[in-house]
Amino acid sequence: MSFDALLWLSFGGPEGPEDVRPFLENVVRGRGVPPERLDEVEAHYQHFGGVSPINRLNLEAIDAVRARGFELPIYFGNRNWHPMVEDTVAQMKADGVRRALVFPTSAYGGYSACRQYDEDIVRALAAVPDGPELVKLRQFFDHPLFISSFADGVRAAAAGLSGPYRVVFTAHSVPVSADKAAGPPSEGGYRYSRQVVEASRLVAAELGITEYDVVWQSRSGPPQIPWLEPDIVDHIDALHAKGVTGVVVCPIGFVSDHLEVVWDLDTEARDRAAELGMEFARAATPNGDPRFAELVVELVAEHTSGAPARKLSSFTAAGCTVNGAPCAPLCCEPAKRPVKA
């Protein structure tokens, strides 16, 4: 098929102290998050000068793709901060783009990891009448380049420790109800957590280890709503109680560093390990790795030249959508929020 461009679609992040509050308000729009919770998260961003590394890292990854001789023009748009995806799609239309592929910076299925990017596409096209057709690329949690990058990241992190260690994989927690709805109903749900577990297994297999853990981080909901557990910090406490003296944390759920990596792992988890006298190392996320750029090139080639999909699992390839339509009926349906009387 013929395509005119690639849209790199990401979450977005603030680039200065004055950006933080409006950015967070974009993130939680329509979710009824109390102001005090925003105050808490805002303080985390201000700890780093109000700057998230995510935009810079995305631009560096885009440059790495271009450096591989990639022929399509690449546009960058975000869900929650500038450049907003609506503005980017408007620019694409002005530039004469009629058909474009979309690379979402998430490897997994589920509402937050996949379906919400479809909603971003729908919102952008609603704001840009007669905009380009947008074809989202598939999920890539089991791509061999994704797996090998994380495996090498664990090896490099572990090389800095002086003693034995436990490998702990971590991904963003979501409400259990959202995970239950992840994937089409015929699949039985839990696509997100099952994919995270599978990616962790694949990395562990490449490392040659059979003992490891899969945990979660960054929950933000009220305590009465069940989320995926255990939490990374709680798990470090549990490992310490078992006599584990070192831990290598692999952020398997993230393609690049941003606040939920540099705060939740590099700050909170690292500090807790230090309090307990445990060695701690964190594996790198993949988008600074040249293999990540090659992964994007390969995903595009599946559409532009019919290249075979490279996968290491038996999971069905999913997530490829056109103009934001779900990839399967009722797939990853968002939770219905209660209607106030």
The answer to whether the annotation marks 260 as part of a ligand binding site is: yes
User: Residues 181-218: pLDDT tens digits?
Assistant: 999 999 999 999 999 999 999 999 999 999 999 999 99
CA 171 – CA 233 distance, rounded (Å): 13
Position 21 pLDDT exceeds 60? yes
Model confidence pLDDT, tens digit, residues 246-293: 999 999 999 999 899 999 999 999 999 999 999 999 999 999 999 999
pLDDT range class, residue 1, cuts 50, 70, 90: low
Provide the pLDDT for residue 36: 87
Mean pLDDT, range 150-176, rounded to an integer = 98
Whole-number pLDDT of residue 35: 86
- State phi, psi for 99 to the nearest 5 degrees: -140, 130
- 172 carries a ligand binding annotation: yes
The tens digit of pLDDT for each residue in 321-331 reads 999 999 999 99
Please say whether the dihedral angle defined by the alpha carbons of residues 84, 86, 90 and 92, taken in this order, is positive or negative: positive
What local confidence, expressed as pLDDT, does residue 341 receive? 41
- Output the pLDDT for position 34: 83
Radius of gyration of the chain measured on its C-alpha atoms:
20
Greatest C-alpha distance within the chain: 61
User: Does 52 show up as a binding residue in the annotation?
Assistant: yes
Residue 64: half-sphere exposure toward Cβ, Cα within 13 Å: 18
- pTM, whole model, 2 decimals? 0.96
Edge-to-edge strand list for the sheet holding 279-282: 213-217, 166-172, 246-250, 279-282
Domains for the chain: give ranges and CATH numbers: 5-140+288-322 (3.40.50.1400), 144-282 (3.40.50.1400)
Mean pLDDT of 75-85: 98
Give the pLDDT score at 339. 45
At residue 66, does pLDDT exceed 90?
Answer: yes
> Which amino acid makes up residue 299?
L
Q: What is the mean pLDDT of the chain?
A: 95
Packing angle, helices 144-158 and 191-207, rounded to 10: 60
